[in-house]
């Protein structure tokens, strides 16, 4: 009788069980979210080569109780029930604690899904500061072939703030939807390779409502943003990410991003990084766009993104106002509207980078939640982050 392999003992299934058709499903996502590059073509983003400081255990903090919607709950209990794979906490720029599930190693990468959008917007902000990218310009000034699509009369600002009047639904679990076709174009689903991501996006059409009125969370906008910054800069997204963000940030580990049949980066959701490097991005934003004494993105852009910019009216007309009733959305980042001034990046299946300027705390949480979107859990997660940021 053959015993279990080390892989099967750790994850509860064989590696051969993980396929392109099921890699985002539980339990397979506990492994695949750390190894997206084995399933989807991916491009590397080199780091500076510095040494990562040793792991810092959360210790007694795991037993501390926080007040959540269902009553008092320990930090450890919430991490378990929210399918957390990794958690890193920084305070005033110093890493004060790491936590990893048994199936994830310290130093491992994890896909951050839609926090990739927030990274891509940072690149747009950097290029804006360099004078080579105009957020108020028409999309067609950079991508003329978008003329016949929903983006033909949209501005870059509409793309950045998710206010394009786009006839598209984020139907994550419908295999017959336009979203499934979108996933095939990204090579994230079986059957891809006949239509590129660029080709797919340029077939999308608009709704009757004018652009700019309603916050509509539509991921193709953010893939288009990646194409826009490439056109403006004349560089590949991976090169921009390395030169403009990853190296100046002092990221300790290589990142990666999934690509389509043409090598186009999946800037809406394909980036994988370590928890600590994700926290470093949040800390750079908390510091107004600086890291290691070096300015990375203009301070005015950061303030506009996390404090003053965005339309409250457009946010209230959208479908996510329940999460941040006083919130706004600007440049692919969420303003919570809380008194703490907290802001965040969010990805499906439980990816978060949460920044609390008042307490000087940054929290990076990576997860393998069974479903892409769990609205009730997201509401509790926000309360958890706010409470945790006051405890440390």
Q: What is the pLDDT of residues 257-301, one digit of tens each?
A: 999 999 999 999 999 999 999 999 999 999 999 999 999 999 999
Q: Is residue 374 part of a domain?
A: yes
pTM of the model as a whole: 0.97
* Residue % of the chain over a pLDDT of 90: 95
What are the pLDDT digits (tens) for 156-180? 999 999 999 999 998 777 878 899 9
A 10 A CB-CB count for 274 gives: 24
Q: Is residue 256 part of a domain?
A: yes
- 227 contacts 276 by C-beta, under 8 angstroms: no
Q: Is residue 93 part of a domain?
A: yes
Q: Is residue 30 part of a domain?
A: no
pLDDT band at 3 (very low <50, low <70, confident <90, very high): confident
pLDDT band at 2 (very low <50, low <70, confident <90, very high): low
- 326 contacts 146 by C-beta, under 8 angstroms: no
Query: Per the structure block, which two tokens stand in for 253?
Result: 């580990």
| Burial readout 240-267 (b: 16 or more C-beta within 10 A, e: otherwise) | bbbbbbbbbbebbbbbbbbbbbeebbbb
Q: Is residue 53 part of a domain?
A: no
User: Which domain covers residue 277, as residue numbers?
Assistant: 80-100+108-132+236-391
- 63 contacts 75 by C-beta, under 8 angstroms: yes
CATH of the domain at 344: 3.40.710.10
Per DSSP, the three-state class of 48 is: coil
Q: Is residue 159 part of a domain?
A: no
Residue 222 is among the residues annotated as catalytic for this protein? no
pLDDT band at 71 (very low <50, low <70, confident <90, very high): confident
Task: Give the active site residue among 42, 82, 114, 368.
Answer: 114
As for how many domains the chain has, the answer is 1
For all residues of the chain together, what is the average pLDDT? 97
């Amino acid at each position: 009788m053959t015993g279990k392999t080390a892989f099967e003992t750790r994850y509860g299934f064989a590696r051969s069980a993980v396929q392109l058709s099921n890699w985002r499903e539980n339990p397979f996502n506990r492994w695949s979210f750390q190894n997206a590059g084995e399933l989807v073509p991916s491009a590397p983003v080199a780091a500076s080569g510095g040494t990562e400081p040793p792991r810092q255990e959360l210790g007694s903090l795991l037993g501390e109780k926080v007040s959540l919607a269902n009553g008092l709950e320990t930090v450890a209990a919430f991490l378990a029930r929210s399918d957390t794979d990794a958690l890193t906490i920084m305070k005033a720029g110093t890493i004060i604690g790491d936590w990893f599930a048994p199936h994830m190693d310290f130093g491992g990468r994890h896909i951050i899904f839609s926090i990739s959008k927030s990274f891509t917007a940072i690149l747009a902000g950097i290029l804006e500061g360099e004078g080579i990218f105009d957020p108020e310009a028409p999309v067609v000034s950079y991508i003329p072939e978008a003329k016949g699509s929903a983006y033909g009369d949209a501005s870059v600002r509409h793309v950045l703030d998710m206010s394009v009047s786009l006839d598209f639904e984020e139907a994550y679990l419908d295999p017959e939807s336009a979203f499934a076709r979108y996933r095939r174009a990204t090579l994230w689903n079986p059957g891809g390779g006949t239509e590129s991501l660029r080709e797919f996006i340029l077939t999308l059409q608009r709704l009757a409502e004018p652009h700019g009125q309603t916050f509509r969370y539509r991921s193709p906008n953010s893939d288009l943003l990646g194409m826009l910054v490439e056109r403006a800069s004349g560089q590949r997204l991976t090169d921009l990410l390395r030169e403009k963000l990853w190296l100046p940030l002092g990221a300790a580990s290589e990142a990666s991003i999934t690509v389509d049949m043409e090598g186009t980066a999946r800037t809406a959701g394909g980036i994988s990084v370590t928890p600590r490097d994700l926290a470093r991005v949040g800390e750079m934003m908390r510091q107004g766009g600086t890291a290691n004494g070096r300015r990375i993105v203009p301070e005015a852009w950061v303030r506009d993104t996390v404090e003053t910019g965005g339309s409250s009216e457009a946010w209230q007309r959208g479908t996510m106002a329940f999460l941040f009733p006083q919130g706004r959305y600007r440049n692919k980042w969420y303003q919570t509207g809380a008194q703490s001034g907290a802001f965040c990046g969010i990805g499906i299946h439980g990816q978060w980078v949460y920044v609390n300027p008042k307490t000087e705390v940054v929290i990076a949480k990576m997860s393998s939640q069974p479903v892409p979107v769990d609205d009730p859990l997201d509401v509790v997660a926000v309360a958890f982050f706010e409470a945790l940021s006051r405890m440390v």
